Amino acid sequence: MTADTVTTGGIRTVRRSPTRTGRARLAVTDGSSLFWRIAAPLLALAGLLVFWQLAVDLGGVDPKTLPSPVRVATSGWTARDLLVEAAGATLQITLSGLLVAVAASIVTATLLSFIAPLRQTLLPLLIAAQSVPIIVLAPLFIIWFGFDAGPKIVLVGIVSMLPLTISMLHGLLSADPDAAALMRSMGASKWRIFLSLRVPTALPGAITGLRIMTSFIVVAAIFSEYVGARSGLGIFMQTQKNLYRTDLVFSAVVVSIAIGLTLFALTYVLEWLLLPWERRRKAAQR
Amino acid sequence: MTRRLVEANGLAKTFSSRLGDKHVLSDITLHVDEGEFVSVIGPSGSGKSTLFSILAEQLAPTAGEIRFHGDAPRGTPFSAYMPQKDLLMPWLTVEDNAGLGLVLSGTRRREARRRIGDLLSTFRLEGTAKAYPFELSGGMRQRVALLRTVVQDRPLLLLDEPFGALDYLTRTELQLWLAELCSEEGLSVLLITHDVPEALFLSDRVYVLSNRPATVQMVLEQPAPRPRGLSYLESEQFTHDERRLLDELTESGRRAAR
């Protein structure tokens, strides 16, 4: 059912929310049909690749210094078995780390949303922990917990969880207190209000937090391999760099970008599944 | 004989803080009989919302008491309230928003949806069961909020300026409809408003609050039978009462300025 058929049923009024109409207008002036939103960045990318190829070909750059896109592609294809194996290992760390980060965020944000003193003491520590570079933490984790995948996964999770934790916590706390009072008057317990009010309020922000996380969690996984792993894109890049195979380093970069973009796109699928009301609202604005 | 449903005796409320005491209500006595429509009207900042919260049992009075059927209220809440904001949850459909009170107090979702489905046409919400709040007009949103309040089946309905945010025509239309609904269903309602015609048009009795700290400054009985049609707006009774009320309210405004 669309907004039109609903409004014709009853009394029409002027829409009250100025932000809603404002946003709708913005979407219109963007003129961004789905086609252009996908085509525009692709065209830009194609232009960049052509420029890069021409610069390398015409400028006579040593391929060890800067390989051309074509060379990156062909070398990558030749080494595809190695690349797939490495990508598989990295993907495993990435996805497990993602799960750890999501689980840790849910637990942390829930606890902190219920217990204010904990919020004041733990949140600054959490932020401080995020400021420790993974490159320093990783060797320590290896020393403390060994070479297995487990410590690396935990490390990737801890390092990447902050955006999600913060956005979740913020969402949980920003639920309308009047709505909470109303639900209490209807007989809802604190926990019920958490589930029926706070969680749905937090969902849109949490998905944004997750989206931010996907943009760097692959990098975190690659870094975690630098200090010790049998295979993975990080190991692969390091090896190829030592062999002066710059082209293969670039191939690995392309693969890691592809993984990151795929995860990023998946957050939109998740949003579509979890927020049916937002789905309808965006459809109505188009 | 009508029975006394809810009465408030000598309610007072003082908020204490480091900055000192803030006396909001000093002495409020009022009552609602079964099936009655009662309005409380007062200037802005006169403590209407505080009174509302006390009647909704969200806030304890500093002094005075509330009686329900002549006794102190025990455990089960006697009122359902509709706040100024419609507070519809954007993630719930109309039927689930309207059934929220039922579900939160333990009714099964399916049963709640069935009961809401039966009432949608009474609330002029046919065909909107699966719609989300953003798809509704302002008037429809208020009717969903009202349905959510009524369906809880509590003895007293508390309405806090339910139509304050609507445009004039929509507001009038909703007032006419509410008047009919309340008479047909025999609802007991306490309405808080600062809209003088609204109070006069809908109520059996109007309590006028003074400026802060609020007392009941005047009680106005409205004997004309309900529901009233638009013609009531040009009756002598209405225009006379409207003038008296405005007089009273603006005078209390002057007193505050002094």
Integer Cα distance of A142 and A133 in angstroms = 15
Integer Cα distance of A277 and A262 in angstroms = 24
| Nearest chain B Cα distance for residue A18, angstroms | 13
What's the whole-number average pLDDT of chain A?
84
For residue A21, pLDDT over 60 is answered with no
Amino acid identity, residue A201?
T
Q: Which of A6, A186, A277 sits opposite B136 (nearest CB)?
A: A6
| Nearest chain B Cα distance for residue A5, angstroms | 9
- Between A11 and A141, residue with greater pLDDT: A141
Integer Cα distance of A164 and A269 in angstroms = 17
* CA triple A172-B158-B154, angle to 5 deg: 90
Place of tokens 């931010």: A212
The pLDDT value recorded for residue A43 is: 93
The CA-atom distances, in angstroms, between A198 and each of A131, A180, A202, A203 are 29, 9, 6, 9
In a domain, B217, yes or no: yes
Q: Which of A10, A20, A182 sits opposite B87 (nearest CB)?
A: A182
The pLDDT value recorded for residue A30 is: 52
Which segments of B40-120 does DSSP mark as H helices, in order?
48-55, 94-98, 100-104, 109-119
Q: Which domain, by its residues, includes B208?
A: 4-78+154-257
Q: For domain A68-285, which architecture applies?
A: Orthogonal Bundle (1.10)
Percent of chain B with pLDDT over 90: 32
Integer Cα distance of B227 and A56 in angstroms = 86
Q: Which of B77, B100, B137 sits opposite A11 (nearest CB)?
A: B137
ipTM: 0.86
Integer Cα distance of A168 and A174 in angstroms = 10
Domain with residue B20: its CATH number is 3.40.50.300
In a domain, B125, yes or no: no
For residue A23, pLDDT over 70 is answered with no
Q: Report residue B1's pLDDT band, with 50, 70 and 90 as the boundaries.
A: low
| Nearest chain A Cα distance for residue B158, angstroms | 12
| Nearest Cα to Cα of residue A110 among A194, A176, A193, A180 | A194
| Nearest Cα to Cα of residue B33 among B123, B213, B156 | B156
Number of domains composing chain B: 1
Enumerate the domain spans of chain A: 68-285
Whether residues B85 and A178 touch (CB distance < 8 A) is answered with yes
Evaluate whether A199 touches A172 at the Cβ level (below 8 Å). Answer: yes
Please list, residue by residue across B24-45, b when 16 or more beta carbons sit within 10 angstroms of its beta carbon and e when fewer do.
Answer: bbbebebbbbbbbbbbbbbbee
Beta carbon pairs, A and B, within 8 Å: 103
Q: Report residue B16's pLDDT band, with 50, 70 and 90 as the boundaries.
A: confident
Q: Which of A6, A13, A186 sits opposite B138 (nearest CB)?
A: A13
The pLDDT tens digits of the residues spanning A113-142 come to 999 888 888 888 888 877 877 778 778 887
Which chain A residue shows the shortest CA-CA distance from B152?
A: A186
Whether residues A14 and B136 touch (CB distance < 8 A) is answered with no
pTM of the model: 0.80
Evaluate whether B41 touches B209 at the Cβ level (below 8 Å). Answer: yes
